[in-house]
Structure 1
Amino acid sequence: MDYTPKILIVDDNIENLKVVGNILQSEKFDIAVSLNGESAINILLNNEIDLILMDIMMPEIDGLETCRRIKCIDSLKEIPLIFLTAKAQTNDILEAFEAGGVDYIFKPFNRLELLARVNTHLDLFLSKRKLKELYKNRDFVYSIIAHDIKSPFNKITQFLQMLNEGYLDKDSSDYEALLDLLNTETQKTNGLIDELIEWGQLLTNENHNQLQSKHLKPIIDSVITFLEHQSFSKALEIQNNIDEKAKIICDEKSIEVIFRNLLANAIKFTPDGGKITFSNEENTQKVFIQLKDSGIGMTKEVLEKIFENNEFYKTNGTNKEKGFGLGLLIIKDFVKKNNAELKVDSISEEGTTFTVIIDKSI
């Protein structure tokens, strides 16, 4: 499903709101409306808006002053604002630009002109936002390459050098242990590279999502099989209690990546001998897929960091397993790809439950 831009229309004249709203809704935009500046700012602070159309002449706080206030709020100042005005004097237009507007549309409205200006500024804004996200993600990937990939590769090089120079007897236990370490580091690094490639394909739209109806249980079976080596090494019990009839609308590959990362996280933070369970519930429209572990859980502070504030966070598992910190970022991107939601409940020292809420298929 393509992204639908959200537009806020601000005008104290209800007839004007109807005219502009009808034009934009006919083009399938999401519309929010406000009759005054104070209400408009409140809507902007509590919703994700991509473009503002604002009348200049309004009681109490006019459009120009409302625009100035918006541009003083860091989280809102980048949103493009187009003024709706009946004032065509040069000084009025200059004042509108000085206040922070990016364009203006004269009343009475011309449908084609309105849509042309709206689409132009939406394209510019959304492209700019996408570019910022790509730069941010690029820098994040560079930091992973610099540290989390370079570090194990250095270890691998050292191990190979030790083997090549004959420091260890091939029949010794130390030699076998070194081979095991070499194999472990190679697998971990290869896994991280695979995740980076999958994530990069999503970010560059090379791997377009194919939302189709799929049975859920076989997907979870595949995920469990993929990670069975890690679960066996900690003697964990993993149960797939998904209803065999459960079907979801999803992109199968990215859904597997979501649950592979969630399960890897559960394995990492569940002590030896613990239990991990997949289950599901559903209503008429949604399927609620739960992954519950008996692990060490997370504190409220950690949950706020990684789920509410989107801070980069990584830590070691119960057996000192190294974490790359990339999994959650991939999960969030792929959840969005599937028009799904991700929720988490966790109690420190008791365990964590991840819930993926996704569209149901009949």
Structure 2
Amino acid sequence: MMELEPDKTPLILIVDDIPKNLQLLGTTLRDEGYKIAALNDPLQVLSSVRNLKPDLILLDVMMPEKDGFEVCKELKGDPDLAEIPVIFLTAKAEQENINFGLELGGADYVTKPFNSSELLARVETHVSLKMAKDQLRKQNNQLEDLIATRDRLYAVIGHDLRGPLNGITGLTRILLEDFEKSEPDPKIGKFISMIHQSSKDVWMLLSDLLNWARMQSGELMVQKEEVSSVKLINNVLELMEYQLTKKDMNINLKYEQEHPIFVDERYIATILRNILSNAIKFSEPGADIDISLQEGEAAYTIAVTDYGIGMDEETIDSLFSSKFHPRNKNEINKNGSGFGLMLSHQLAKIHNCKLEVVSKLGEGTTITLTIPVPSPEDAKTLKHAKAHY
């Protein structure tokens, strides 16, 4: 048998109505290191294959109620199961029957009585082909993800970075012109404030890009500690003060009592900042944003609710995907890369947290961050840290 990773041991499903054949085949294949599942009822094959997803099916042709050809036809008619190779077990060696089975989608056949060497050779050949195809399919999917992420990064650099930097350049030019006139203008203070904010925007975006790059290379280190949830939110709101003031928006922070959370403050702050940024971006000027904190037995939740343009189901389903960025034609925000929410989703997963989105078009959106309570191991680490504080 070919060498495989420990968790990649191939599973072979044997279907035969004669128990003695099941036992003989099972013993022969198990001795070679394969995992085995067996069925003697052809009517149960389809449901069992959907559940087990075997790497190969050994299928007897002559069975009561439904023969192997009928079963094979059903398997090949299901797109989710059609790629699983089927080797027929048959006492009929006539070329006509063999051709019929292969035309139905069978990969090969073995005649009874079995020759162990021949059986094992055919099984290994088709298992190897199946595993190679699966690996190739996995690599293709990974490549597609990398290409999509690369394209997204190009879009971020090309648009999101260029916008703030152009703002800095333009405002600096205006400041220089005013200073050259030697006539101080009250607007200069406003322009300096705008430059400062644009600089912060660039800095936050570059931080997000750096975090994303570290995640892709596996270098992102999470260092959890006990953090005040209210203090964390207020720190994020301080960063968002300019955007909130610019749109005359109000934050309603709701909680019964302050509770600590066990997280890496840097990355949870990044998640909340991106959620709030989108809430502001997709809301009308003067609107409210609600932030509610709740503590449960197994998790804490931080929910951010806006009353803006909302999203349809298709947009929600693709919100955290690197392959598709939903564009909204509403003038509230017709630009943007959508990079922030994709990054936030990945940061949440690294923390064993969860982001959930509930939205209705035209009514608003709620994004909830669920943070699990400290595990026994985390609690022990926290207790140890406090003891040495």
TM-score (norm 2): 0.61
Give the one of 206, 218, 236 matched to 2:228: 218
Q: Secondary structure at the match of 1:181?
A: helix
Cα distance, 1:146–1:205 mapped onto 2, change above 3 Å: same
- Give distance in 1, aligned partners of 2:252 and 2:182: 39
1:274 alignment counterpart: 288
Q: CA deviation at 1:134?
A: 1.3
1:280 partner amino acid:
Q
1:134 alignment counterpart: 146
Structure 1 regions of 5+ residues with no counterpart?
A: 26-33
- Give distance in 1, aligned partners of 2:240 and 2:329: 15
1:159 alignment counterpart: 171
Q: CA deviation at 1:126?
A: 3.8
Structure 2 regions of 5+ residues with no counterpart?
A: 1-6, 36-42, 61-67, 108-116, 376-389
Give the one of 248, 251, 261 matched to 1:237: 251
Q: CA deviation at 1:192?
A: 1.6
What does the per-residue CA deviation read over 1:5-32, in whole Å, with 9 as the maximum and x for residues that have no partner?
89986554696999999x789xxxxxxx
The answer to whether the 8 A contact 2:294-2:302 is kept is: yes
1:36 partner amino acid:
V
2:113 alignment counterpart: none
The answer to whether the 8 A contact 2:155-2:337 is kept is: no
2:215 alignment counterpart: 202
Q: Secondary structure at the match of 1:346?
A: strand
1:192 alignment counterpart: 205
Superposed, 1:254-273 pairs within 5 Å as 254-270=267-283, 271-272=285-286
Cα distance, 1:325–1:64 mapped onto 2, change above 3 Å: same
2:209 partner amino acid:
L
The answer to whether the 8 A contact 2:348-2:354 is kept is: yes
Deviates more, 1:327-336 or 1:170-179: 170-179
Cα distance, 1:154–1:257 mapped onto 2, change above 3 Å: closer
2:59 alignment counterpart: 57
2:158 alignment counterpart: 146
- Give distance in 1, aligned partners of 2:207 and 2:196: 16
The answer to whether the 8 A contact 2:300-2:371 is kept is: yes
The answer to whether the 8 A contact 1:295-1:351 is kept is: yes
The answer to whether the 8 A contact 1:54-1:82 is kept is: yes
Q: Does 1:228 align with 2:205?
A: no
2:219 partner amino acid:
E
1:337 alignment counterpart: 350
1:296 alignment counterpart: 308
Cα distance, 1:279–1:117 mapped onto 2, change above 3 Å: farther
Cα distance, 1:320–1:169 mapped onto 2, change above 3 Å: farther
Aligned positions, number: 324
2:294 partner amino acid:
N
- Give distance in 1, aligned partners of 2:366 and 2:74: 47
- Give distance in 2, aligned partners of 1:343 and 1:225: 23
Structure number with bigger Rg? 2
- Give distance in 2, aligned partners of 1:274 and 1:142: 33
Report sequence identity in percent: 19
2:316 alignment counterpart: 306
The answer to whether the 8 A contact 2:13-2:57 is kept is: yes
Cα distance, 1:129–1:258 mapped onto 2, change above 3 Å: same
1:335 partner amino acid:
A
Cα distance, 1:131–1:204 mapped onto 2, change above 3 Å: farther
1:29 alignment counterpart: none
Cα distance, 1:259–1:66 mapped onto 2, change above 3 Å: same
2:153 partner amino acid:
V
1:361 alignment counterpart: 374
What does the per-residue CA deviation read over 1:238-272, in whole Å, with 9 as the maximum and x for residues that have no partner?
42627555656x66544333223223333444553
Q: CA deviation at 1:280?
A: 2.0
1:30 alignment counterpart: none
TM-score (norm 1): 0.64
Q: Secondary structure at the match of 1:343?
A: strand
The answer to whether the 8 A contact 2:249-2:289 is kept is: no
- Give distance in 2, aligned partners of 1:159 and 1:180: 10
- Give distance in 2, aligned partners of 1:153 and 1:113: 58
Cα distance, 1:259–1:24 mapped onto 2, change above 3 Å: farther
- Give distance in 1, aligned partners of 2:275 and 2:134: 35
What does the per-residue CA deviation read over 1:307-330, in whole Å, with 9 as the maximum and x for residues that have no partner?
357541355999879644212211
Q: CA deviation at 1:281?
A: 4.0
- Give distance in 2, aligned partners of 1:126 and 1:338: 25
